[in-house]
């Protein structure tokens, strides 16, 4: 029998893809909402770490599941920012969710809207939100990057370094 192949001690990257999801949003630019429109978002997590004695950075099955669970509530919904700065206002009115910026006013069925804890539904902040949701599931990972793609020509990559590095 030959010698067991030692796991490398240098950092290794694994990638986990989440399910594509369709969602509508209206980004804020210079304090004004753009027109409501939709994207089919796709995302990928790149995870860097040192291999454990079993030769893995982390088990990607629970990571993929955590990503799918974070994405599921966003599927086929309109994503709106809970923390948009003034003059943006949001309130409920007769079963509708109303959001306005002084120029544009959206009234959408409450059940079709997901309010996210962000100031804007930019690709950057949606990516950060998803990364925050999966972070507790990244055992053994040293660095994580989430790439959220909203179209063939636009995507954002957000990163987190564990251990404050
Ligand atoms: N840094 C960012 N810039 C912009 C974002 C963003 O999330 N981060 N978002 C938008 C708009 O919301 C829009 O979704 C994208 O605009 P655009 O790429 O022009 O979209 P189009 O579909 O019109 O263009 P294609 O070239 O057909 O993809 C703007 N900026």
* pLDDT at residue 165, rounded to an integer: 47
- With 60 as the cut, is the pLDDT of residue 112 above it? yes
Which pLDDT band, with edges at 50, 70 and 90, does 163 fall under? confident
* pLDDT at residue 3, rounded to an integer: 62
* pLDDT at residue 164, rounded to an integer: 59
The protein residue with its alpha carbon nearest to ligand 1, atom 21, reads 151
The enclosing domain of 34 has a CATH number of 3.30.479.10
> With contact defined as beta carbons under 8 Å apart, do 101 and 33 qualify?
yes
> With contact defined as beta carbons under 8 Å apart, do 149 and 155 qualify?
yes
The protein residue with its alpha carbon nearest to ligand 1, atom 6, reads 122
Give domain status of residue 69, yes or no.
yes
**Residues pairing with 91 in the sheet:** 98
| pTM for the predicted model, two decimal places | 0.93
| CA-CA-CA-CA torsion sign (112, 103, 156, 146) | negative
Give domain status of residue 35, yes or no.
yes
Give domain status of residue 108, yes or no.
no
Give domain status of residue 55, yes or no.
yes
Q: How many domains does the chain have?
A: 1
Give domain status of residue 105, yes or no.
no
Tokens of 163: 């251990």
**Could you tell me if the CB of 34 is within 6 A of ligand 1?**
yes
Give domain status of residue 154, yes or no.
yes
Q: What would the pLDDT profile of 5-17 be if each residue is shown by its tens digit?
A: 666 678 999 999 9
Give the residue numbers spanning the domain of 157: 12-75+120-164
CA 7 to centroid of ligand 1, rounded, Å: 43
ipTM greater than 0.95: no
Give domain status of residue 70, yes or no.
yes
* pLDDT at residue 5, rounded to an integer: 67
List helix spans (H) across the chain: 60-71, 123-134
**Could you tell me if the CB of 58 is within 6 A of ligand 1?**
no
Mean local confidence (pLDDT), 102-106:
94
Give domain status of residue 107, yes or no.
no
**Could you tell me if the CB of 153 is within 6 A of ligand 1?**
yes
CA 82 to centroid of ligand 1, rounded, Å: 21
């Amino acid at each position: 029998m030959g010698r067991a192949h030692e796991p490398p001690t240098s950092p290794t990257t694994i990638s986990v893809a989440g399910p594509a999801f369709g969602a509508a949003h209206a980004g804020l630019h210079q304090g004004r909402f753009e027109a409501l429109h939709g994207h089919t978002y796709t995302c990928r997590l790149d995870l860097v770490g040192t291999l454990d004695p079993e030769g893995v950075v982390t088990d990607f099955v629970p990571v993929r599941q955590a990503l799918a669970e974070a994405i599921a509530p966003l599927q086929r919904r309109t994503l709106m920012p809970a923390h948009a700065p003034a003059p943006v206002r949001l309130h409920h009115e007769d079963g509708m969710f109303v959001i306005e910026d002084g120029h544009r006013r959206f009234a959408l069925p409450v059940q079709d809207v997901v309010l996210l804890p962000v100031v804007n539904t930019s690709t950057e902040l949606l990516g950060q939100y998803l990364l925050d949701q999966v972070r507790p599931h990244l055992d053994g990972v040293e660095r994580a990057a989430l790439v959220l793609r909203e179209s063939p020509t636009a995507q954002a990559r957000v990163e987190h370094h564990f251990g404050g590095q």
